[in-house]
Structure 1
Amino acid sequence: MDRSARRQLAEHIAGEVTMSDDPGATLRKWRTEFDVTGAELASTLDVSPSVVSDYESGRRDSPGIGVVRRFVEGLLDIDETRGGDRLRQFARVLSAGFDSDIVQDLREYPATVPLARFYDAVDATEVVAGGSLEDGPRTVAGHTVINSLEAISRLSSEEFYRLYGQSTNRTLVFTGVTRGEGPLVALRVATPTPTAVLLHGLSEAELWEHAPRLARADGYSLSVTEQPLEETLAGLRALP
């Protein structure tokens, strides 16, 4: 793992914790993001599990910068022993210039993945098939998972364009949607359009009635999934 990328990520997490109105909850959020148990972290830090629990619950005074630094380095050390997947994931998000609350996952695959396999991994239902049979098997080379509500409330129009427009042969996954009109309308101004769009947390019956027409007009595959978010993220991370 690039040391500078690790350092940048460590500084980002530490800064978020120290600036938080509830540092314990933010510590817990990051431990959960890295899929590390309290017992695992306690063992790495050579403290009792109750110490980790007390800081996360607020039963101890707000952690100082020394405690936060140890906590963060412990998470990164554990992840590196597992192969560094989460570290690389968050480093990619930061390098793209977006906060992890907005971009929840961002990956480039070592080899293209058939779109049908992608959909199987996240239990998705395809509503509109993009491309044509003459184009050959449909594949994607990566994905970006975007919290739609956070993006709408926090990104400028320029940042919207940069986030959407940089996505070409990949799937854009939007979470926090109600019917899907917000992200799909925003996609109309982005070029080039992605290969596929997945709306998370929707059934086909709940989908905005104009969504299929927009997908056909812009030529991307449109799908929905009601799978719990953690299962969806786990399915995406299992892709090669």
Structure 2
Amino acid sequence: MGGRGPRRELAEKIAGEITLSDDPGATLRKWRTDFDVSQTDLAAELEVSSSVISDYESGRRTSPGIGVIRRLVEGLLTIDEHRGGDRIRQYGRVLSAGFESDVVYDLREYATSIPLSRLYGEVGATEIAAGDTDSVSGHTVINSIQAITRLSSEEFFRLYGQSTNRVLVFTDVTRGESPLVALRVVNPTPNAVILHGLEADELWNHAGDLARIDGYSLAVTTTDLDEVLESLIDLE
């Protein structure tokens, strides 16, 4: 599957997940969707009919063997490379920071600082409390439940990447209480926090107060997570 590095690591991860899944077709579909690749595009890359991909994903064909799985995975990664390699690089950044991709979805540093107002506009976020600074130079997108249950305080701090001058985006949030309380035990705090998946009126009633006390901007968004990730990738 090519040389060492993120591409091979990612190929092995995807192939392993599909092979070990109770529903290999659904797992293949999940990864194809994550890569934003249509059945038609994947079929064209592999020089098969799109019905072949459809049959594997629906379970109409018997579970694919490891040889077929390797071809399918290779097709996804090759398409990503032809598009610029964003998904492979995204995985590589998370991997190099020492995280699993189900805890941290993306971790990125920007070449220049970006105004928070622009970032919020791009991801459809509504600011709840203003912070002490109005720009960021990186972002980390985190599954809040996985981060809180699995990360130590030291690992939590590593979410900041190269700088705390960034926005932390917490997904799978119901009220926002848990991630904001968790942030209180990690110093220093980020410039901004976005809670993904809830409206302003669903937010924990002390959330804005905590943000103001600690000096970071707090915002919420209900924009689809894939759209948020795409918007953050396209920021620069």
**Structure 2 length normalisation: TM-score?**
0.91
Query: Matched residues in 2 for 1:11 and 1:73: separation?
Result: 10
Contact 1:172-1:198 within 8 A present in 2 as well: yes
Instruction: Please list, as runs of the form range in 1=range in 2, the aligned pairs for 1:189-208 lying within 5 A after superposition.
Output: 189-208=185-204
Contact 1:128-1:212 within 8 A present in 2 as well: yes
Alignment-derived partner of residue 150 in structure 1? 146
User: How many correspondences in the alignment?
Assistant: 234
| CA spacing shift, 1:161–1:234, aligned 2, 3 Å | closer
Instruction: Please list, as runs of the form range in 1=range in 2, the aligned pairs for 1:152-167 lying within 5 A after superposition.
Output: 152-153=148-149, 155-158=150-153, 160-164=155-159, 166=161
Instruction: Please list, as runs of the form range in 1=range in 2, the aligned pairs for 1:208-227 lying within 5 A after superposition.
Output: 208-227=204-223
Contact 1:165-1:191 within 8 A present in 2 as well: no
- CA displacement at 1:105 relative to structure 2: 2.3
C-alpha RMSD over aligned residues: 2.0
Query: Matched residues in 2 for 1:39 and 1:74: separation?
Result: 12
- CA displacement at 1:232 relative to structure 2: 2.1
Alignment-derived partner of residue 65 in structure 1? 66
One-letter amino acid of the counterpart of residue 211, structure 2: A
SS in structure 1 opposite 2:141? Answer: strand
Instruction: Please list, as runs of the form range in 1=range in 2, the aligned pairs for 1:23-172 lying within 5 A after superposition.
Output: 23-131=24-132, 138-153=134-149, 155-158=150-153, 160-164=155-159, 166=161, 168-172=164-168
| CA spacing shift, 1:152–1:59, aligned 2, 3 Å | farther
SS in structure 1 opposite 2:5? Answer: helix
- CA displacement at 1:149 relative to structure 2: 2.5
User: Bigger shift: 34-43 or 205-214?
Assistant: 205-214
- CA displacement at 1:231 relative to structure 2: 2.6
| Structure 1 gap ranges (5+) | 133-137
Query: Matched residues in 1 for 2:146 and 2:26: separation?
Result: 19
Contact 1:164-1:187 within 8 A present in 2 as well: no
Query: Matched residues in 1 for 2:130 and 2:234: separation?
Result: 24
SS in structure 2 opposite 1:13? Answer: helix
